[in-house]
Amino acid sequence: MKKFNITVAGGGSTFTPGIILMLLDYLDEFPIDTIKLYDNDGERQKTIADACEILLKERAPEVSLLASTNPEEAFTNVDFVMAHIRVGKYAMREQDEKIPLKHGVVGQETCGPGGIAYGMRSIPGVLELVDYMEKYSPEAWMLNYSNPAAIVAEATRKLRPNSKILNICDMPIGIEELIAKNLGLSSRKEMEVDYYGLNHFGWWTDIRDKQGNSLMSKVTEHVSQHGYATDGTSELEQQESWNSTLKKARDVQVLDPATVPNTYLKYYLYPDYEVAHSNKEYTRANEVMAGREKFIFEECQAIIENGTAEETKLTIDEHASYIVDLAKAIAFNTKERMLMIVENNGAIINFDPTAMVEVPCIVGSKGPEKLVVGEIPRFQKSLMEQQVGVEKLVVEAFEEGSYQKLWQAITLSKTVPSAKVAKDILDDLIEANKAFWPELK
């Protein structure tokens, strides 16, 4: 079986060790020759890379590791680029969250003004990675799970229409694992789902077992009472902010009791509640910096100092197994059924054909083949049209350097109460993002 070469773009990410451990766990199914780490912050990446090199020597010495800040070195002779970059790191995420909150608006990294700000930083970063891949390994595929995925996907559709980039998100995967747990199943892979929407903005309409029996009535009953909460032992439920998010799904589901929603819809449908229950001085970004980021870098430093990873607390990122499933689907034409972010083009019949929608696809060696969803209800269609308008305006604002269009995008967001508030937020975001955004006129 062929051994693959992989570049992990965003090598200094806190998620990189978990992804590498996950890749090692699947070596029998997806053999690897070389893993390359690429980041534009060499110092941050070095800590992760040095620890991962020790991990590999102990657990898979046949796999080579290369860490580089040189695009030619990092992207030459690779089969897949797994991209999870965060332009501006967590420090800018903190601004994305706190600036809108200062104006009484939802502060969230992928939703509302914060997501728009993040999108304006992510677009050039992801486009740069696509260009490196196409220059140095033109036959490679990019598996992109950089946020905000909806805006990034629209940018690649419009600005790199022929690129071999697959946009995917782990959020539905995480929710489906909780659903499976509540159903008494061992894994989400024991289910087949029907789903439609935009990234972080969708609905499950049916969930079946592998024999084709619908489990939806059990799922909707549980969500209507408990949201996606389980017995409290899941990783997400161990985090206070996520625990409340999972439970809040019951209030979102009330609006269409026949479906179950993506958890992020709470930011659009209950923005007043979210603002009232947010700490403007200590947001999710602060939680992550004090928690996950601190833990990962301390563990990596401990591995380096001890010269061994035998007692490390670093764990496999199980949710990231979908990335291996996607790579295997491309490499071995497995025809895996997966939720992907793709150009609509008729999948949702009564919706903009150019919108980037999140729907089930069959993935093989030529990429994803969309499954037809059909027509969707007016309520969801109307919400989605508004949000697609936001995403398209952001990409146009980036492409044209247009202050006007970015103001329109923030004004159009369902999380923002008025054009005046939108302008005030935008002006603050421009100041905070001077080092990252194009100049707006």
Could you give the residue numbers annotated as active site?
170, 264
Helix (H, G, I), strand (E, B) or coil at 114: helix
Angle among Cα 138, 142, 148 to the nearest 5 degrees reads 140
Beta-carbon count within 10 A of 319 CB: 20
Q: Are 8 and 38 in contact (CB under 8 A)?
A: yes
What is the C-alpha to C-alpha distance for residues 113 and 390, in angstroms, rounded to an integer? Answer: 10
* HEC letters along 39-93: CCCHHHHHHHHHHHHHHHHHHCCCCEEEEECCHHHHHCCCCEEEECCCCCHHHHH
- By the 10 Å C-beta count (0-12 exposed, 13-18 middle, 19+ buried), 86 is classed as buried
Q: How far is CA 3 from CA 8, 28, 82, 139, 423, in A?
A: 16, 10, 16, 16, 52
Q: Are 63 and 5 in contact (CB under 8 A)?
A: no
What is the C-alpha to C-alpha distance for residues 413 and 116, in angstroms, rounded to an integer? Answer: 9
Alpha carbon 330 to its chain's center: 20
- The amino acid that residue 17 corresponds to is P
Q: How far is CA 429 from CA 231, 307, 391, in A?
A: 40, 43, 17
- Containing H/E element for 16? helix 16-25
What is the C-alpha to C-alpha distance for residues 371 and 364, in angstroms, rounded to an integer? Answer: 13
Tokens 């290369």 label which residue? Answer: 66
- Among 120, 58, 123, CA closest to 95: 120
